[in-house]
Amino acid sequence: MTDHGQCAEKTDEELVTLTLKDRELYACLIRRYEAPLARYVRRISGYSDDDIADILQNAFISAYRNLNGFDPSLKFSSWLYRIVHNETISQHRKRRARPQTVSVEENDNVFELLASEVDVARDADRAMTAMRIRAVLDAMDPKYREVLVLKYLEDKDYREISDILQKPMGTIATLINRAKKQFRNKVEDGPLSTIR
């Protein structure tokens, strides 16, 4: 197996090139992305760890198979997020039901950032707990939830979100604006505790 020091010095794109010559180096890319991608899948789907592991395994194998099709004009991370996103959607379809809850860590302070970014009622309680924000995200349309997760929880810029969701940047901007509006409305519509 590869050692971690050897991986750390390489960029994603270099590792892609090296993986095509030596399969073992693919482990570097897997180790680099398994944790953030697992968190991302959990945030948009609320699946269990086992389900997430299955999704990631399928996604990493699919990425390996399509490695020669990686477009260097994209960030490798965007390309990989896209594959994982598509695999998650595919799992949703197979189960014929969308997840009911969005799983978040209680101490995840990015949720406070989300509440601040979308300018939730200034006179309302700004220190929203992760649980309360989770309730709002659960109640949102999936298409709006996924752009908010990518923008505020995964910290992706518009270009990256566009590349992940394969939509024009203008459409992404529109979706984010509508998502923020829906988020605000759901916060202001009533006690968050009742949204769940």
Contacts 24+ apart (CB under 8 A), 83-86: 83/59, 84/37, 84/40, 84/41, 84/55, 84/56, 84/59, 85/44, 85/146, 85/164, 85/165
Shortest distance in whole angstroms from residue 102 CB to another protein:
20
Q: In this complex, which beta carbon is closest to another protein, that of residue 11 or of residue 68?
A: 68
Determine, following the binding rule CB under 8 A, whether residue 56 of this chain makes contact with another protein.
yes
Determine, following the binding rule CB under 8 A, whether residue 69 of this chain makes contact with another protein.
yes
Kindly identify the residues of this chain, within the stretch 98-127, that bind another protein according to CB under 8 A. Answer: none
Q: Which of 36, 51, 54, 67 binds another protein (CB under 8 A)?
A: 67
Determine, following the binding rule CB under 8 A, whether residue 8 of this chain makes contact with another protein.
no
Contact 41, 47 (CB under 8 A): yes
Name the one range near another protein by CB under 8 A: 54-62, 90-98, 110-118, 183-191. 54-62
Please give the Cα distance from 191 to 171 (Å, whole number).
31
Determine, following the binding rule CB under 8 A, whether residue 24 of this chain makes contact with another protein.
yes
Determine, following the binding rule CB under 8 A, whether residue 77 of this chain makes contact with another protein.
no
Q: Which residue type occupies 111? A: F
Please give the Cα distance from 23 to 11 (Å, whole number).
16
Determine, following the binding rule CB under 8 A, whether residue 64 of this chain makes contact with another protein.
yes
Buried b (16+ CB within 10 A) or exposed e, 75-85: bbbbbbbbbbb
Q: Which of 100, 107, 166, 194 binds another protein (CB under 8 A)?
A: 166
Shortest distance in whole angstroms from residue 99 CB to another protein:
20
Q: Which of 10, 17, 20, 157 binds another protein (CB under 8 A)?
A: 20
Q: Which of 12, 34, 112, 138 binds another protein (CB under 8 A)?
A: 34
Name the burial class of residue 195, with classes exposed (0-12), middle (13-18) and buried (19+) by CB atoms within 10 angstroms of its CB: middle
Q: Which of 40, 47, 60, 152 binds another protein (CB under 8 A)?
A: 60
Contact 149, 43 (CB under 8 A): yes
